[in-house]
Amino acid sequence: MRRKLAAGNWKMNGTRADLAQVDALLKAHPAASVDMVLCPPATLLAPMVERAGTCALEVGGQYCHPNQTGAHTGDVSAKMIADAGARYVITGHSERRTDHGETNADVLDQTLAAWDASLTAIVCIGETLEQRDTGQTLTVLASQMVGSVPEAATGANIVIAYEPVWAIGTGKVASLDKIAEVHDFMRAELTDRFGTQTAGAIRLLYGGSVKAGNAAEIFATSNVDGALVGGASLTAADFAPIVAAL
Ligand code: PEP
């Protein structure tokens, strides 16, 4: 049985004053029967872990370098994220793929680094608008999964988030039929590669303009185990109802 997961990506937003959102979220979901993860900027990892205590909220990074230490000015390693007390890290977010030219091979290396530091990787994949409009969605997703998901994937060390690039931060959401088609396809691809048991344990998230008003119907869609949420994860007022819809 896959445990439902709501993960929030704060992106380059948040200062210490925003940690009040953690208190409010935990007030709304003190002992969640689902998994809740917030991924703040690196500066807030340790303080957010402290604020979350041993409660229902886990913390994650938004990116990790493939190396654990070294001459990489401005970067953050999985070991550092783990040292801050976080348990998850996002790899392959489309904003990283676009802004920093990260390839599938980079994402695979980052995911291996995450595992090396005992973090669970939330690997993001998704097609652009042009790829969607030219009928390439499933081909693109298949090659991203082959290229970005390492061989030793398990239900414990990886979560895969399907995030159509055109739906991120745009208010546009993939249709429920499309979400079902893609998540069924992803499960089938994982089954071919890893077998039924492992594939059946890996959680698949949808991401792209999820909010309180559309979360329940998305979560009721075939093979959707939760969501990766950007904008609507910044405040407890927006995120708590999404968690409640899981
Ligand atoms: C994201 O950044 O992963 C995301 C899904 O953003 P939003 O929810 O704002 O579309």
CA of 228 to the centre of ligand 1 (A): 7
CA of 245 to the centre of ligand 1 (A): 17
ipTM over cut 0.85: yes
Lowest-pLDDT range, 28-37, 93-102, 169-178, 235-244?
A: 28-37
**Pick from 5, 179, 23, 200: which is nearest to 90 by CA?**
5
CA distance 131 to 169: 18
Percent of the chain scoring above 90 in pLDDT: 95
Contact assessment for residue 76 and residue 100, using Cβ atoms and an 8 Å cutoff: no
CB 240 near ligand 1, within 6 Å: no
Which structural domain range is residue 127 located in?
Answer: 5-245
**Between 32 and 97, the higher pLDDT residue:** 97
Provide the residue count of the chain: 246
pLDDT at 8: 98
Model confidence at 52, in pLDDT bands (50, 70, 90)?
very high
CA distance 228 to 6: 6
166 is in an annotated binding site: no
pLDDT at 54: 76
Lowest-pLDDT range, 49-58, 140-149, 213-222, 224-233?
A: 49-58
Lowest-pLDDT range, 30-39, 119-128, 195-204, 230-239?
A: 30-39
Hey, how many other C-beta atoms are within 10 angstroms of the C-beta on 69? Answer: 9
Does residue 55 carry a pLDDT above 80? no
Q: Round the average pLDDT of the chain to a whole number and report it.
A: 96
29 carries an active-site annotation = no
158-171 mean pLDDT = 96
Q: Which of 93, 95, 102, 189 is catalytic?
A: 93
pLDDT at 91: 98
CA distance 179 to 176: 5
pLDDT at 1: 81
The tens digit of pLDDT for each residue in 81-121 reads 999 999 999 999 999 999 999 999 999 999 999 999 999 99
- Number of domains observed in the structure of the chain: 1
Site to probe by mutation for ligand 1, drawn from 210, 214, 235, 239 as the one with most ligand atoms within 8 Å of Cβ, is: 210
| Sign of the CA dihedral with 188 first, then 194, 196, and 200 last | negative
163 carries an active-site annotation = yes
Q: Whose CA is nearest to atom 8 of ligand 1?
A: 230
- What is the CATH classification number for the domain harbouring 230? 3.20.20.70
pLDDT at 210: 97
CB 39 near ligand 1, within 6 Å: no
pLDDT at 33: 82
Q: Whose CA is nearest to atom 7 of ligand 1?
A: 230
For 178, residues 6+ apart whose C-beta sits below 8 A from its C-beta are none
Secondary structure, 3-state, 174-193:
CCHHHHHHHHHHHHHHHHHH
